[in-house]
Amino acid sequence: MSTLWQGCLADTDYFEMRSRSGHTYGIWVTTPPGYDHTKTRVPVVYVLDGNWAVGMTAPLIVTQADPMQQIQPYLQVSVGYAGEEAQDWTRLRNRDLVPPGEPIAPEFVDAVEMGVQTGRMTREEADAYLAELRDSRADAFLAFLADELHPRIERAYHAAPSGHGLFGYSYGGLFSLYAWLSGCPLFESIGAGSPGVIGEDSQVFAQLAELGDSLPAAKLHVTVNDQELFGDLAVYQSLAKHTATFLHRLKARGGNVTTAVLRETHVTGLQSSFLSYLRTCRAQ
């Protein structure tokens, strides 16, 4: 990483990796303060939406040295998109983070149309954005994280054999729920911030029903924002309502889940949600 970026993201390496499915990802690896892998092996926390999230989450690695509330040591791996595709991360994430067969809720389509009407995206961009949702492959992306990326991180950074975590926000939060429900053995704790459960027919409800009482052992921490609950945007109201429904059904079965309502909007909530996950699931 250049000297300029090193000053902004201390102790962070960057590389690009092509998956077996043919997609190229940008990977940021942030090591703990004073990390020496020859003396200490620490678990990994994978953070999704790296192009957006790395700048807000990677600096929080200093919480491991906070004397007032110390966080267990971890190595952060932020996963995003590389090269020219990096500018299209908001579209490409739909392909990778949304479960296969996830219905496209009318409220979500309306939100995209609002983006066109207000000039935030062109018609071509909106059509391409929705097209990725019609062929979503969270299953392939989960396999990439667990079977391709993690072995490389384990070899290159001598990561610990267990204790790994995953954090995602919005559609990344939906992916976190999908990964938890899939029972991926790599993760021992998972944070799902404002998960994009937009419709009552979301795949996560079907996954939960299929599990019955055989729920995953990994810790799950879910956050939503008060402005999603009480604001006037239908897409966020639906997100909050259906996330609450999911949590009610999960808790009724004794699911290993903790929750928090944050004083944020959907856009501003990412960093607070990540910090809530660290404090809840990875406290020393």
Tell me the average pLDDT across 192-207.
Answer: 96
Higher pLDDT, 255 or 203: 203
Query: Mean pLDDT, to the nearest integer, of 62-87?
Result: 93
| Phi/psi at 112 (5° precision) | -65, -45
3 versus 118: the higher-pLDDT residue is 118
Band of residue 6 on the pLDDT scale cut at 50, 70, 90: low
Q: Which amino acid is at 149?
A: L
Please give the backbone phi and psi of residue 261, each rounded to the nearest 5 degrees, phi first: -105, 125
- Among candidates 4, 45, 3, which has minimal Cα distance to 28? 45
pLDDT above 70 for 2: no
Q: What is the mean pLDDT of the chain?
A: 93
Residue 1 has pLDDT above 80, yes or no: no
Please report the pLDDT score of residue 37 as a whole number.
Answer: 78
Query: Which of these ranges, 8-22, 44-58, 137-151, has the smallest mean pLDDT?
Result: 8-22
- Percentage above 90 pLDDT, the chain: 76
Q: Say which CATH topology domain 3-48+66-281 has.
A: Rossmann fold (3.40.50)
Which residue is it, tokens 């991360």? Answer: 89
Residue 75 has pLDDT above 80, yes or no: yes
Separation CA 42–CA 162 (nearest Å): 9
Q: What is the mean predicted confidence (pLDDT) over 165-178?
A: 98
Q: Which of 83, 193, 177, 108 is nearest to 138 (CA)?
A: 177
Please give the pLDDT value at position 5: 55
- The domain spans of the chain are 3-48+66-281
- Report the share of the chain in percent with pLDDT over 70: 98
Task: Give the span between the Cα atoms of 281 and 135, in whole angstroms.
Answer: 33
What angle do helix axes 123-133 and 106-117 make, rounded to 10 degrees?
A: 160
> What is the pTM assigned to this prediction?
0.94
Radius of gyration of the chain, Cα coordinates, nearest whole angstrom: 18
Residue type, 204: V
Q: What pLDDT does 7 receive?
A: 59
pLDDT at 248: 96
pLDDT mean over 204-213: 94
Asked if pLDDT for residue 259 goes beyond 60, the answer is yes
Distance CA 14, CA 79 (A): 10
- For residue 192, the SS3 value is strand
Paired tokens of 271:
């960093």
pLDDT at 132: 82
Per-residue pLDDT of 91-147, as tens digits, reads 999 999 999 999 987 877 888 788 888 888 888 888 877 888 888 999 999 999 999
How far from 203 is each of 62, 132, 155, 167, 185, CA to CA, in Å? 36, 17, 34, 19, 20
Q: Of the given ranges (37-46, 105-114, 173-182), which has the lowest mean pLDDT? A: 105-114
